[in-house]
Each structure stands twice: as structure tokens, then as C-alpha cells.
Amino acid sequence: MEVIILERLQKVMAYAGIASRRKSEDIIKAGRVSVNGKIIKELGFKVDPKGDLIKVDGKVISREKLVYIALNKPESYVTTVNDQFNRKTVLDLINGVTERIYPVGRLDYDTSGLLLLTNDGRLTYIMTHPSHMIDKKYRVTVNGYPVQKDFAILEDGVELKDGITAKAKVFLIDRLAGKTIFDITIHEGRNRQVRRMCDAISYPVYSLERLSFGPIYLDELKSGKFRYLRKEELARLEKLKAGFSN
């Protein structure tokens, strides 16, 4: 049996292209929105986007078609829809997409690599909720030459200010010119986690790139470019969603 994921009414309205979330709140407070025939003025009201009948000014709203995009995020872009400091955002790299998409999780300002963008709220919840433990693989370049005992610490768990990290997987790639390159796979999503883990073993990160997120891989996508997910990738995501349906 599929779990029904409820979402705030103003969020569903925004996804349907009615207005921004803030403007949608004004529309709700004005009594212009009904859910299953009942006028709703409560801003925290939650609805089933797939099952509830939602009308604005008497007209049924239809959710935008679901869109799934992979972006190779460059450094110096923020993973947000809008930035109060007028920095470049990942949406500045997306063109020709009329649907109201948003990033699935975050990548740090100075981290590059795979970022997913979608308007599928259920998928976003599944991919980002800590209890689901979705793997994320990163290509890490650090200054210096960590040895096996250092990698063992990363794999077994590093003591950080917000607690010890979960177990990770580390695979050595290369050593050259005063630097070491390795892949690390984690399933947590703490703020700047990989960088803090490497700082904790005294090998600061020189560069960091995400290679995969769950069943989706960066592959040969060039920096700053995006693409729609392929049919086989969408099938993997559907399988992932089905796995969390109970």
C-alpha cells in the first residue's frame, strides 16, 4: 500500500504554477482556495497532491508534469532557488524548463558534481530523509598522503561536534604532487560533512565532487551542464520509491 505524503497547501499551489509560496499564502488567506469543496484559510493546512481536489477561484489546479534533471554543479554556485546575497544559484544554469523545480538536498558552495532537481516532492523526501540512508559518493582530493589507518577512521566513524559519523566506504584512487585522491561513500547529509571528516584526520579537502546520489550517476555530464534523466534512470527512481511505499 502506497504511503500518502501530505504537503502544505501553498507548496502544492506553487508547484502547480499558481504563484510563489508567499503569494499563494495570500491567496489562501483571502479565502480563494478550496480543498474537496471546503474553503481553506489555514496556512499550515496539508493536502494529498494526488488525491485531493484543490480549486483556486473555483478552478481545479493541476500539478505540473513531473520533471527530473541531473546537473553537474560547478563550484561557486549556491544550491537554492533564491539567494539573499545575490550569488549565482544552480537554477541560473537551467534554461528552457517551465516547471517550478527545486534542488534535491544541497551541495556546498565550493563543492561540485551531481545535483538532482525535480518537482517530485515524494522523491525529494525519500532521497533526503536521514532514515532512508541513501548513498552519496564523492571524489575527494586532499592535501597530503593519508595512510590506511586514516582511511579506517573515515570508514569506522569520525567524531565531530554533532556526533560520530556513520560508517563510510573509502576507495583509494591515486597519489600525486602532494595530494591524494579517493572516493568516499556516505549516506548521511550533515553540513559540509566530508570536509569536516577530512579535517578531523588532519587532511583538509582540496577539491570535492559528488559522483552519484542514490541510483543516479554523474557519468560524462560536463560542468555547468544539465540533462533530463534517461528512461532507465527514471525506472531506478520508481523502484526506489516503491521500496519505501510501506
Tell me which residues are annotated as active site: 108
- CA separation for the pair 232, 227 (Å, rounded): 14
The runs of H, that is alpha helices, within 8-70 are 9-15, 21-29
Q: What are phi and psi of 122, to 5 degrees?
A: -65, -45
The full length of the chain comes to 246
- CA separation for the pair 154, 167 (Å, rounded): 7
**Sign of the CA dihedral 164, 169, 175, 181?**
negative
| Whole-number Cα distances in Å, 172 to 54, 56, 151, 165, 227 | 53, 56, 9, 20, 29
- Cβ pair 87, 78 in contact under 8 A: yes
- Name, in order, each residue with C-beta under 8 angstroms of 40's C-beta and a sequence gap of 6 or more: 9, 28, 33, 34
